[in-house]
Amino acid sequence: MISDSLFQYVTDIRRRIHRHPEIGFDLPVTTALVCSELERTGVTYSTDFAPSSVVAYFGNDPDKRTIAVRADMDALPVEEKVDLPFKSEIPGRMHACGHDTHTAILLGLAKILKERESELPCNVRLFFQPSEECAESGAEAMVKGGVMDGVDEVICTHCEPFMDPGDLGIATGDYMAACMPFKIEFIGRTSHAAAAPELGIDAIRMADEAYHRLAALVKECFGEKKYVWNVGVFQGGTAHNVIADHCRLEATFRFFDQETAETFRDKAVSELNAIANRYGGKVKVEAEQSCYAVINDPELAGRFRRIMEEKGVARVLDLSSRMSSEDFSWYLTKAPGFLFRYGIKCEPEGQVSPAHSNTFIVNEEGMRYALEAFTEYIFGKD
């Protein structure tokens, strides 16, 4: 069980972080707090793996496995509308996804691990990660910095506003989709749309053909497999009587089947070039993977469920796969692991504020169960 004094510590830390939300890799106040608390607890840590990252170490037995636990620390560019006593003090910024709770939970876990370090059945590293919300992934940067060297397993949690405090949730296998954003720019030539249309090369017409062709192509490639293809930006033209020489498309592309996605990308690039060539124009295409799919290791997810049930930590719900994405997947390219959820619902069903909303609010009691879940899982390792 988590003591009331430790839970109060976690709550106080969470509220301190909530008052001062920071964005991306620019987390000077947050990382200073994390480092200060680790020092007070007597924990060895490193800040060498990526800007604004902190990694804490427990145990150093080369004959034992090493498990890593990750928390993201960054906030969002959202204006907070809930009048909390510890409301954001920075205009236009808010912890609207609960990363303040994730960080506070890991600092609470650091106290438990340090106090019981001699009992550890494995080595443990705590990853305090920047920039989960931004286009440039903090997880990717930390992995490229070597943070996963020597790690055998990696886990994390995320708060869930649609689950009750005291409930945990986990999926087995496919859980969160990979993401490969597309940016497409067609380049044509301007001309008078009525007096000399034959001298122009219509970028909007090229983009329109591409819009329909790619929607058909992704369906052809994926068939019954899960995917999301959505064009959210379609911009071109400057005047009604001028043939547009530029038109830009941006699409989100989510999926679980990596091989099929790469096949689609290659075919899409080929189709886009063919369209541009037919019109005498040009096309620029960017389609880089921003994160991979979160695939919860079945054996480890099953072990998590068993330990939670045996120890009576909380009810464990079965979660379905979702098409949103999480850069935690970068760690899973190096070692197996899983992501579980903990409930933080505050309001009656139908009135819950989702993550990333300006009215997002946390039932802090949920943090107690997440902290206990981490503790029992680590000390219950076979």
What are 48-62's pLDDT values in tens digits?
999 999 999 999 999
Average pLDDT for 78-97: 96
Give 232's pLDDT tier (boundaries 50, 70, 90).
very high
Q: What is the pLDDT of residue 382?
A: 55
Contact 104, 159 (CB under 8 A): no
Which pLDDT band holds residue 113 (cuts at 50, 70, 90)?
A: very high
- Please state which of the ranges 32-46, 193-207, 263-277, 347-361 shows the lowest mean pLDDT: 347-361
Residue 36, pLDDT above cutoff 60? yes
Residue 285 has, within 13 A of its CA and on its CB side, a CA count of 19
Tokens of 278: 């037919």
Model pLDDT, residue 347: 72
Q: Among 125, 79, 278, 100, which Cα is nearest to 188's? A: 278
pLDDT the model gives residue 348? 61
- Burial classification of residue 210, based on how many CB atoms lie within 10 Å of its CB (0-12 exposed, 13-18 middle, 19 or more buried): buried
Q: How deeply is 65 buried, as exposed, middle or buried, from its count of CB atoms within 10 A (0-12, 13-18, 19+)? A: middle
Question: Which amino acid is present at 246?
Answer: H
Q: How many CB atoms lie within 10 A of CB 44?
A: 12
Q: How far is CA 181 from CA 12, 99, 174, 229, 258, in A?
A: 38, 24, 20, 9, 14
Q: With 90 as the cut, is the pLDDT of residue 116 above it? A: yes
Q: What is the pLDDT averaged over residues 127-150?
A: 96
**Confidence grade of residue 381 (pLDDT, cut at 50, 70, 90):** low
Q: Which residues pair with 72 in a beta bridge?
A: 129
Q: Is it the case that residue 299 has pLDDT exceeding 80?
A: yes
Largest CA distance in the chain: 84
- The three-state secondary structure class of 205 is helix
In the chain, where are the structural domains located? Answer: 4-174+292-379, 181-287
- 4-174+292-379 CATH: 3.40.630.10
| Average pLDDT over the chain, rounded to an integer | 96
Q: What are the respective helix, strand and coil percentages of the chain, to the nearest 5?
A: 35, 25, 40
Measured CA distances, 353 to 74, 96, 230, 350, 363 (Å): 19, 10, 24, 9, 12
**Average pLDDT of the segment spanning 251-258:** 98
Is the pLDDT at 350 greater than 70? The verdict is no
Strand 66-72 to 123-129 pairing = parallel
Pick the CATH number of 181-287 from 3.40.50.1860, 3.40.50.150, 3.40.50.300, 3.30.70.360: 3.30.70.360
- Out of 82-91, 319-328, 344-353, pick the least confident: 344-353
Q: What is residue 1's predicted lDDT score, i.e. its pLDDT?
A: 82
Whether 61 contacts 119, CB under 8 Å:
no
Helix ranges (DSSP H) in 223-288: 258-279
Q: What is the tens place of the pLDDT at every residue in 315-348?
A: 999 999 999 999 999 999 999 999 999 999 987 6
Whether the per-residue pLDDT at 349 is higher than 60: the answer is no
pLDDT score of 170 more than 80: yes
Per-residue pLDDT band at 352 (split at 50, 70, 90) = confident
Distance between CA atoms of residues 125 and 110, nearest Å: 9
Average pLDDT over every residue of 176-196: 97
Q: Is 226 a residue whose pLDDT tops 70?
A: yes
Residues 6 or more apart whose Cβ sits within 8 Å of residue 326? 132, 158, 176, 291, 294, 339
DSSP element (H, E) containing 155: strand 153-160
